[in-house]
Amino acid sequence: MKAEPARTEIPGELRLEMHARLLRVRIASRRLAELYREQEMRTPAHFGLGQEAVAVGVVTALRPGDVVYSHHRAHNHYLASGGSVYELAAELYGREAGCSRGRGGSAHLTAQAVGFIASTAILGETIAIATGSALAFSMRGERRLAVSFFGEAACEEGIFYESINYAAIRRLPVLYVCENNLYSTESPLSVRQPAGTELCERARSFKLKAERVDGNDLAAVYEASARLADGLRRGEGPAFLECMTYRWLEHVGPHFDHEAGRTYRSREEVESWMQRCPVKRSAAEIIRLGVADEAALAALSNGITRDVEDAVKRARAADPPPQGDLYADVW
Amino acid sequence: MKAEPARTEIPGELRLEMHARLLRVRIASRRLAELYREQEMRTPAHFGLGQEAVAVGVVTALRPGDVVYSHHRAHNHYLASGGSVYELAAELYGREAGCSRGRGGSAHLTAQAVGFIASTAILGETIAIATGSALAFSMRGERRLAVSFFGEAACEEGIFYESINYAAIRRLPVLYVCENNLYSTESPLSVRQPAGTELCERARSFKLKAERVDGNDLAAVYEASARLADGLRRGEGPAFLECMTYRWLEHVGPHFDHEAGRTYRSREEVESWMQRCPVKRSAAEIIRLGVADEAALAALSNGITRDVEDAVKRARAADPPPQGDLYADVW
Amino acid sequence: MSGDALRPARNIKFKDALSEGLCMAMERDPGIFVTGISVDYPSGIFGSTVEALRRFGPARVFDAPAMENALTGIAIGAAVMGMRPVVVHPRNDFMFLAFDQLINVAAKWRYMYGGRAGSVPIVVRGIIGRGWGQGPTHSQSLQSVLAHFPGLAVVMPASPEDAKGLTMAALRASHPVIILEHRSLFELTGPVPEEYYATPFGHAKVVRPGVDLTLVATSYMVQEALVAAGVLAKEGIEVEIIDPRSIRPLDEETILASVRKTGRLIVADTSWECCGFSSEIAALAAEKAFDALRGPVRRLSSPNCPAPVAASLESVLYPKASTIVGLSLHMLGRHPQGNLRGIDAVDTFKGPY
Amino acid sequence: MSGDALRPARNIKFKDALSEGLCMAMERDPGIFVTGISVDYPSGIFGSTVEALRRFGPARVFDAPAMENALTGIAIGAAVMGMRPVVVHPRNDFMFLAFDQLINVAAKWRYMYGGRAGSVPIVVRGIIGRGWGQGPTHSQSLQSVLAHFPGLAVVMPASPEDAKGLTMAALRASHPVIILEHRSLFELTGPVPEEYYATPFGHAKVVRPGVDLTLVATSYMVQEALVAAGVLAKEGIEVEIIDPRSIRPLDEETILASVRKTGRLIVADTSWECCGFSSEIAALAAEKAFDALRGPVRRLSSPNCPAPVAASLESVLYPKASTIVGLSLHMLGRHPQGNLRGIDAVDTFKGPY
Ligand SMILES: Cc1ncc(C[n+]2csc(CCOP(=O)(O)OP(=O)(O)O)c2C)c(N)n1
Ligand SMILES: Cc1ncc(C[n+]2csc(CCOP(=O)(O)OP(=O)(O)O)c2C)c(N)n1
Ligand SMILES: [Mg+2]
Ligand SMILES: [Mg+2]
């Protein structure tokens, strides 16, 4: 990981805004994971606890008109984009008020109004789709960016290379964000990448600009994203950002590994990463810089918690899709 | 392209043997292309005229037990491996005596007895298949290599990256030989690769050993292959060899571009590459080194020409598959 | 009948009708672009994209690397942003590489976001190869497997008129459309209206009316059916030929109406039998026109083997006009007079393509 | 009947039967290895690969990166060199990514080299998901599209006995075999012989004899069919349930014999209807047992939409025992007594997997 540059250049206001967004993602995700245990949300859900800074840091570097795509672990990206907690919760509960009207579930989210276009459940798919949206922007001369969030396992799928090759040939404005959390389900990197692999090197061999950052460092993610987004808007061609991070919970579902008796990661490893909690780190930095004090942050957190609570309650109480609509919207 | 190292270390005998093989590939390919004009060979055929040194140079570095896979432009690899001219011609004529009993045609060749396992018509397929054969060798502790020949367009397909990643993780004994002839059908590199692309760089980013050679220089191809094959046999993991070369004829079929009115390559470009004919270069080198004289090479050529003529005549006269066998060998 | 022809139709080739449909659609909709391997070659997909390139230039008709899966995803992503991509595969067999994007994404997009992520109006053209040693992986016919999936429209033009009309309909649909075009039809000439018109999906065409037997034929098999019907007519047998044109959505009613009239059904399709379109139509009749059936339905499809290259085998591979005549006579309890093979078209195609 | 049981069969679970079949085959054939994402996890493909890993170790049961297409090609290449790879997909929906290798290569290998490049004895296992919001891309059922292609065997065990027997048969076949295993069957318990035995492909099983109606059911639908048959028996209706077990090759004779006996046919399949297996069987009957049919054949399959996630929609998505009972009664001119829904199994599955 690179040495961290001084970051006083991020205005305090923006830091606070990002932190608020981070808190919202964290608090909503955590609450949803809690509720998920009740078995009322019948949709396989991949929670992103621990990885929130990636989504927030990247999305903060975007502008209106830019679009975001995500993968199976989509909640963070949806929420960071400004997607409604109520609609997300309703989606998980399988309600008509869900962002996808209960049809797609956890892995198929959409919030077009805030630029979050879609997530899909099969690895690698949205990497190409984001590239295609960038193609549309490029063909129409629009200065918009497409962002594709995916896990490092998607870099095992051929579609990733087909896509970045294409984006590089046509200098498309796509930011490929790889959230490297070291595992694919329960498989460590060692069974999936040759020793010594640098994904950035791969991206560079396709002529992408590439950077690697500490994905738990909100400011670092934001700065790298802003830098790369600048280049993208100047037409310098696609970029790749690898964010090193870690998922706290099991691959799918609400439990910690140890609760579920899973042994592929040691408890020490999980806990050491939890020490590097992106929310705590962001809070500490904000306090250190004097942007806000502990009390202000607590108030912020409390407000969000109340909003989230209200949203999930309403979502749970919302109506399911009418059975007569089974065939609606097939095409 | 690299500076060419001195090559006196290749024994004269081996040079002559390689040259004989080269001549056989050339003479047979050329004769088949001539006969193809008669419209009696009803199978889309991709001739490899101009590219023969790649096949011969690589295959000469192999040992009994090693296996070879190829793609749509398969004749050179089949012939260089020692595949029968008679069976190849019979295959093109759609005869029961064909190497694939007339079922597969030009793109689906096999000659298992000489280690040429198979070629297929869809880009990239055999890259994975060769990798799988190497997996079998590796699992059984056999010191055999698998070679995969493909064109540079196959490096646009995701399967190439999936395969080399896998081979590198498991350190499989595969030699990936990319015949870069600058075109895919009529598409130049510029629409298929970002400017400045080095395929070797890509391969290296997957932790393969990688070299690029002048594919029209038989000795250079052989030496690079021998070097890489050595490493493979020592278990050093997969290697990638890019051979820069050029196809003389149209993409599919027996004509020169100008005969068929094709305009994607200039006549000058084609002719400049024909000047760099691998057969002429090999002959000149052999004469220069005093390994054989012009007369001896002419005699060699004449002998091969007679053999080829005999083979193609017999093939043409051979029997077609009986119609009653339509359903044989489905499984 | 597709479109209300204001001016009289001229006779043009299938490939030119494809081209005309594409160009007319591109003129109206600036969001349409065409991509895929070789679309911008002088030979432009057997002539069908040449005019589009000439008129709309390389910004809208452009080549692509070999990357079938990602390219399909890219088309989807462009479509979601308001474009109308046309992805062309010189052989539909290459589409297997793109099945994930086609089936897991394009087909389900609208539904799986409850309509809130818009729809995916992509058009995918795939050419079906046949003969001259196209062989096992360049002559398959994918309508049956693609039509299995809700969310995909699969159409197969069998005449120049429909080549144009279905292309234009595809290019204004609000969902993914796969057009499977048979290589053996590209040189076929027929009347094509000059106007812009869209041949609606889900409307079968009664290609030839008849009363004795219903012959549902797809794509190139319509040509074989027409030859067969001509021969049978001389025997006093009037075959009704129905071209479904769209495989999905399927015009069940036109087919069922015919079966109810004739009581006999042969389905001649270019794909394989097992779980194929011929089975679909046979099942349809057995389920919804059972009482009208006067005898067993019969399926004619690709034989149960991969396509071999050798001419000797290729010549017995496909069901042909003679096969249809023989089977029709048999179904009607009649006996074929002499050798029927003479009626079959001789393939005059010159290779390698 | 599969295998000649020497010792009495014990009752074991479907997943354990899969495991037992795999282990017994691996014991006999050192060339068998198992790979695919998560095969070596403690949860080992819902328990079915755990014992194989324990007994044969990581050299023969090993994880793979996410690379479905290349992995299938790798399996082919290993098979051609004499190995017997088993590739496992935790959801069969991931297999679309591998369709090129499966259909363009594996299915055609033997044929397209005229038998001279050997054959490709790979086994591909794909799990069919269902319920609990599996959703549009994790609950498809691919037998119909795969069975379309000559050269592929496609089997669907519906009982623990066949889970073991078909696995062992697949692992000694000389061609590619695709085993589609329904997730909802993994916990099903039933008698399984202890011996090594191979359930031959192309032999349907008469799961329950009957005289009034033939019910061809695949995979999990056999369970629904059994419930339905029990209910119908109380009404004095004897349904004959036939489990084809292998979709390709298909045992036409057993099915036709039953239809000839009962004169009535319902096909209940887990895939979609259009060009699906239910159509295949309906067509088969209409073509080859027409004279015996006493009424229209009927197809029950997945409804014409992608699978939604919401429980309210999922609950009306699949045809169930009650659907079968209702339809059977209707076909026999009888009226259902009361609300049939009560007979349907309640899904007690706990998520997320
Ligand atoms: C093509 C495909 N193969 C396998 C899966 C099953 N699968 C779902 S999530 C996942 C792990 C992906 O890991 P990564 O991309 O690193 O993302 P993470 O879960 O770590 O966030 C796998 C293998 C899938 N959804 N799609
Ligand atoms: C998946 C796939 N896409 C497209 C094609 C059509 N095609 C056949 S050969 C060819 C060109 C391949 O170029 P390259 O790999 O460089 O080999 P070369 O022909 O130059 O030897 C193409 C595009 C194919 N066979 N398979
Ligand atoms: Mg990961
Ligand atoms: Mg090339």
Measured from CB, residues less than 6 Å from any atom of ligand 2 are B 46, 72-73, 121-123, 151-154, 181, 183-185, 251; C 37, 66, 68, 94, 97
pLDDT higher than 80, residue B305: yes
- Closest CA relative to residue A93, chosen from A46, A25, A42: A42
> Which pLDDT value is given to residue C353?
60
Q: Hey, is the C-beta of D308 within 8 angstroms of any chain A C-beta?
A: yes
Between the CA of A67 and the centroid of ligand 1 the distance, in Å, is 22
pLDDT higher than 60, residue D105: yes
Q: Where are the beta strands (DSSP E) in C53-92?
A: 61-62, 84-89
> Which pLDDT value is given to residue D353?
60
- For A14-53, b/e burial (b = at least 16 CB within 10 A) is ebbebbbbbbbbbbbbbbbbebbeeeebbbbbbbbbbbbb
Across residues B55-68, what is the average pLDDT? Answer: 98
Q: How confident is the model at residue B249 (pLDDT cuts 50, 70, 90)?
A: very high
Across residues C195-200, what is the average pLDDT? Answer: 96
Across residues D199-225, what is the average pLDDT? Answer: 98
Question: Both tokens of residue C340?
Answer: 């029927």
List D residues 241-300 in contact with B (Cβ-Cβ < 8 A).
Answer: none
The contacts of residue C121 (CB under 8 Å, 6+ apart) are C79, C84, C173, C174, C175, C176, C177
Q: How far is A105 from chain D (nearest CA, A)?
A: 6
User: How many CB pairs (< 8 A) connect B and C?
Assistant: 132
Q: Hey, is the C-beta of A298 within 8 angstroms of any chain C C-beta?
A: no
pLDDT higher than 80, residue D5: no
The answer to whether C212 and C237 have CB atoms below 8 angstroms apart is yes
The partner residue sitting opposite D275, judged by closest CB among C276, C285, C296, is C276
In a domain, B37, yes or no: yes
Q: How far is D341 from chain A (nearest CA, A)?
A: 15
In a domain, B99, yes or no: yes
Between the CA of B153 and the centroid of ligand 4 the distance, in Å, is 6
| DSSP at A249 | B
CB contact under 8 A, B125 and D64: no
Instruction: Quick: pLDDT tens for A17-36.
Output: 999 999 999 999 999 999 99
* Active site amino acids of D: 68, 138
pLDDT higher than 50, residue B1: no
Q: How confident is the model at residue C3 (pLDDT cuts 50, 70, 90)?
A: very low
Between the CA of B267 and the centroid of ligand 4 the distance, in Å, is 18
CB contact under 8 A, D316 and A323: yes
Kindly give the number of the ligand 2 atom that is closest to the alpha carbon of B251.
19
The overall average pLDDT reported for chain B is 96
> Which pLDDT value is given to residue B2?
45
Q: Is the dihedral of CA B158, B160, B161, B165 positive or negative?
A: positive
> Checking phi first, is residue B94 left (phi over 0); if not, alpha (psi -120 to 50) or beta?
left
Report the residue of chain C nearest D274, measured CA to CA: C148
**In angstroms, rounded to a whole number, what is the distance separating the alpha carbons of residues B226 and B18?**
13
Q: What percent of chain C has pLDDT over 70?
A: 97
The contacts of residue C129 (CB under 8 Å, 6+ apart) are C91, C93, C138, C139, C183
pLDDT higher than 50, residue D3: no
Question: Both tokens of residue D32?
Answer: 């068998």
pTM for the structure as a whole: 0.97
**Ligand 1 contact, A121 CB (< 6 A):** yes
Across residues B173-191, what is the average pLDDT? Answer: 98
Subunits next to A (3 or more Cβ pairs <8 Å) are B, C, D
Across residues A106-116, what is the average pLDDT? Answer: 98
Contacts of A127 in chain B (CB under 8 A): none
Q: How far is D314 from chain A (nearest CA, A)?
A: 9
In a domain, B325, yes or no: no
**Ligand 1 contact, A122 CB (< 6 A):** yes
> Which pLDDT value is given to residue C348?
75
Across residues A184-206, what is the average pLDDT? Answer: 98
Q: C58 vs C52, C62, D165, CA distance in Å?
A: 9, 5, 58
Residue D84's DSSP bridge partners are D32
Number of structural domains in chain B: 1
Across residues A109-134, what is the average pLDDT? Answer: 98
Domains, chain D, ranges and CATH?
A: 13-192 (3.40.50.970), 205-343 (3.40.50.920)
The contacts of residue B7 (CB under 8 Å, 6+ apart) are B219, B220, B223
Q: Which helix (H) or strand (E) holds D312?
A: helix D311-314
Subunits next to D (3 or more Cβ pairs <8 Å) are A, B, C
Give the ligand at the shortest distance from the Cα of A149.
Answer: 1
Q: How far is D131 from chain B (nearest CA, A)?
A: 32
- Closest CA relative to residue D98, chosen from D128, D81, D75: D75
Q: How confident is the model at residue C338 (pLDDT cuts 50, 70, 90)?
A: confident
> Count of CB atoms within 10 A of residue B274's CB?
14
Residue from B156, B162, B165 to probe the interface with A (highest A Cβ count within 10 Å): B165
Instruction: Quick: pLDDT tens for A259-299.
Output: 999 999 999 999 999 999 999 999 999 999 999 999 999 99
> Which pLDDT value is given to residue C1?
41
Between the CA of B77 and the centroid of ligand 4 the distance, in Å, is 15
List D residues 125-144 in contact with A (Cβ-Cβ < 8 A).
Answer: 132-138
Across residues C200-214, what is the average pLDDT? Answer: 98
**In angstroms, rounded to a whole number, what is the distance separating the alpha carbons of residues B179 and B201?**
16
Q: Hey, is the C-beta of A189 within 8 angstroms of any chain B C-beta?
A: no
Q: What type of residue is A288? A: R
> Which pLDDT value is given to residue C340?
82
pLDDT higher than 80, residue D1: no
> Which pLDDT value is given to residue D2?
46
> Which pLDDT value is given to residue D4?
52
pLDDT higher than 90, residue C95: yes
CB contact under 8 A, A202 and B205: yes
Q: Hey, is the C-beta of C100 within 8 angstroms of any chain D C-beta?
A: yes
Q: How confident is the model at residue D339 (pLDDT cuts 50, 70, 90)?
A: confident
Q: How confident is the model at residue B160 (pLDDT cuts 50, 70, 90)?
A: very high
The answer to whether A102 and A90 have CB atoms below 8 angstroms apart is yes
Q: What percent of chain B has pLDDT over 90?
A: 97
In a domain, B329, yes or no: no
Instruction: Quick: pLDDT tens for B39-55.
Output: 999 999 999 999 999 99
> Which pLDDT value is given to residue B9?
85
Across residues A42-55, what is the average pLDDT? Answer: 98
Residues with CB under 5 A from ligand 4 (ion): B 151-152, 181, 184
List A residues 104-143 in contact with B (Cβ-Cβ < 8 A).
Answer: none
ipTM at complex level? 0.97
Report the residue of chain C nearest D95, measured CA to CA: C100
Instruction: Quick: pLDDT tens for A222-272.
Output: 999 999 999 999 999 999 999 999 999 999 999 999 999 999 999 999 999
CB contact under 8 A, D313 and A323: yes
Kindly give the number of the ligand 1 atom that is closest to the alpha carbon of D37.
23
Question: Both tokens of residue A246?
Answer: 């870690």
Q: What percent of chain D has pLDDT over 70?
A: 97
List B residues 202-231 in contact with A (Cβ-Cβ < 8 A).
Answer: 202, 204-207
**In angstroms, rounded to a whole number, what is the distance separating the alpha carbons of residues D33 and D35?**
7
In a domain, A233, yes or no: yes
Which residue matches tokens 């005969």? B259
- For D176-200, b/e burial (b = at least 16 CB within 10 A) is bbbbbbbbbbbebebebbeebbbbe
Contacts of A249 in chain D (CB under 8 A): none
Which of B43, B108, B123, B177 is the best mutation target for the ligand 2 pocket, counting ligand atoms within 8 Å of the beta carbon and taking the most? B123
In a domain, A3, yes or no: no
> Which pLDDT value is given to residue C308?
98
Q: How confident is the model at residue A1 (pLDDT cuts 50, 70, 90)?
A: very low
Q: C183 vs B145, C34, C125, C132, CA distance in Å?
A: 41, 19, 12, 12
**In angstroms, rounded to a whole number, what is the distance separating the alpha carbons of residues D30 and B2?**
46
> Which pLDDT value is given to residue B4?
52
The partner residue sitting opposite D295, judged by closest CB among C93, C103, C290, is C290
> Which pLDDT value is given to residue C6?
58
Residue from A37, A42, A96 to probe the interface with D (highest D Cβ count within 10 Å): A42
**In angstroms, rounded to a whole number, what is the distance separating the alpha carbons of residues C57 and C52?**
7
Q: Hey, is the C-beta of B157 within 8 angstroms of any chain A C-beta?
A: yes
Q: What type of residue is B157? A: E
Residue from A131, A155, A162, A165 to probe the interface with B (highest B Cβ count within 10 Å): A165
Classified as helix, coil or strand, B268 is helix
Question: Both tokens of residue D347?
Answer: 């899904």
Domain that holds residue A222: 12-311
pLDDT higher than 60, residue A172: yes
Q: How far is A192 from chain D (nearest CA, A)?
A: 5
Q: How confident is the model at residue D272 (pLDDT cuts 50, 70, 90)?
A: very high
Q: Hey, is the C-beta of A187 within 8 angstroms of any chain B C-beta?
A: no
In a domain, A182, yes or no: yes
pLDDT higher than 50, residue D134: yes
What CATH number did the domain enclosing A41 receive?
A: 3.40.50.970
| Cα distance from N-terminal residue to C-terminal residue, chain B | 47
In a domain, A328, yes or no: no
Between the CA of B47 and the centroid of ligand 4 the distance, in Å, is 12
- Cα angle B108, B109, B115 (rounded to 5 degrees) comes to 135
The overall average pLDDT reported for chain D is 95
Q: Is the dihedral of CA C126, C132, C134, C139 positive or negative?
A: positive
Q: How confident is the model at residue D346 (pLDDT cuts 50, 70, 90)?
A: confident
The partner residue sitting opposite A326, judged by closest CB among D63, D137, D303, is D303
Q: Where are the beta strands (DSSP E) in chain B?
A: 67-70, 116-119, 146-151, 174-180, 183-184, 187-188, 209-214, 239-244
Q: How far is A17 from chain D (nearest CA, A)?
A: 34
Classified as helix, coil or strand, A298 is helix
Across residues C20-33, what is the average pLDDT? Answer: 98
Report the residue of chain C nearest A164, measured CA to CA: C70
Give the ligand at the shortest distance from the Cα of C134.
Answer: 2
Question: Both tokens of residue A29?
Answer: 């995700």
